[in-house]
Amino acid sequence: MFRNQYDSDTTVWSPQGRLFQVEYAMEAVKQGSATVGLKSRDYAALIALCRTSKEAEDSPNSPLQRKIMPVDAHMGMSIAGLTADARIVCQHLRSECMSFRHSYDTDYPVQRLVTNLGIKLQATTQRYNRRPFGVGMLIAGYDEKGTHIFQVMPSANVFNCKAMAIGSRSQSARTYLERHLDSFMDSTKQDLICHGIQAIRGALGNQDSSEFTINVAIVGKDEPFKIFNETENQIYFEIAKTMGNPVTSDAEDARSIGGMIDMMDDMLEHGPSGSGSGPALDTDEESNAGLEPRPQ
């Protein structure tokens, strides 16, 4: 009722002990397009929904506003929330990675970089002359410790995850990830991507899928961070729809998926992709559909 008396800056607490500016930033994440991150032992994948603008519909050559951003050869991030804020954060991460590589001639450890990012975001919740970044991020990376999926929120909470979805209608995606969590262990790279696409399809709800474009990125062992092009995105989307067809028998499903993968390899002019396996989410107390991770 008296919220407007306590939301002028981030250092003013309400009588209930709330920081409304931080809550506004969290709300911006909830209103953003959904994005999913999941990993196996050798690969980490990011899948994001990108809203199709009217300009892109009128002109097919008009670029879309990407929701997946490369950070370094071994790392990238997908976003939900304010894209302008995400560009500032991404530029900071790129600068840190370049400085670390110049000093030590190696990749910046993913966990250390994300921890330092959380410290930077925390400062914006404590100073009256700054506002919290209104963007949530899923950061995927691969280093000497293996694959990583980190969730970073405007409140400066950093979570180490094995599968997570953020953004609008992301609860449906988290439910799918929980239901198929055990199958990620033996998933190939193609299966891992298809599981992510299947999860994010649930975030569409009753909305027209033609208004959205799916962006996919992968990073892993012996494979630098790569954002797929439109052709690859469409091929994987068709494969995922085949996997989700309940009337198709297992044999027909396997033949259809195998044929699509062969067609994809011919179109992209590379051999079959490797396989990977990995666990599910690091958490002791399961909440939020069993996928709420433990703060680091």
Residue 102 confidence (pLDDT)? 96
> What's phi and psi for 258, nearest 5 deg?
-60, -40
- Using only C-alpha atoms, what is the Rg of the chain? 19
Q: Write the pLDDT tens digit of every residue in 109-128.
A: 999 999 999 999 999 888 88
Which segments of 17-169 does DSSP mark as H helices, in order?
20-31, 54-58, 83-104, 110-123
Query: 267 or 225, which is more confident?
Result: 225
72 CB burial (10 A radius; 0-12, 13-18, 19+): buried
Percent of the chain with pLDDT over 90: 49
Query: 79 or 17, which is more confident?
Result: 79
CA distance 258 to 243: 11
Domains of the chain in start order, with CATH, are 31-228 (3.60.20.10)
Query: 188 or 159, which is more confident?
Result: 159
DSSP lists the bridge partners of residue 12 as none
Q: Is the pLDDT of residue 9 over 90?
A: no
How does residue 216 score in pLDDT terms, banded at 50, 70 and 90?
A: very high
How does residue 244 score in pLDDT terms, banded at 50, 70 and 90?
A: low
Among 50-54, 55-59, 161-165, top mean pLDDT goes to 161-165
2 three-class SS: coil
CA distance 209 to 156: 32
> What's phi and psi for 43, nearest 5 deg?
-140, 150
How does residue 164 score in pLDDT terms, banded at 50, 70 and 90?
A: very high
Per the rule left: phi > 0, alpha: psi between -120 and 50, beta: everything else, 169 is left
CA distance 5 to 266: 62
Q: Write the pLDDT tens digit of every residue in 247-280.
A: 333 334 434 444 444 444 444 444 434 444 333 4
Sign, Cα dihedral of 188, 193, 196, 198: negative
- Round the average pLDDT of the chain to a whole number and report it: 79
Residue 72 confidence (pLDDT)? 96
CA distance 238 to 264: 11
Residue 62 confidence (pLDDT)? 46
Residue 206 confidence (pLDDT)? 66
CA distance 235 to 283: 34
Asked if 77 and 84 touch (Cβ cutoff 8 Å), the reply is no
Per the rule left: phi > 0, alpha: psi between -120 and 50, beta: everything else, 205 is left
What is the layout of strands, in order, in the sheet containing 35-39? 163-166, 35-39, 43-51, 212-220, 223-227
Report angle CA 134, 49, 239 to the nearest 5 degrees: 155
Residue 226 confidence (pLDDT)? 94
DSSP state of 255: H
CA 57 and chain centroid, separation: 25
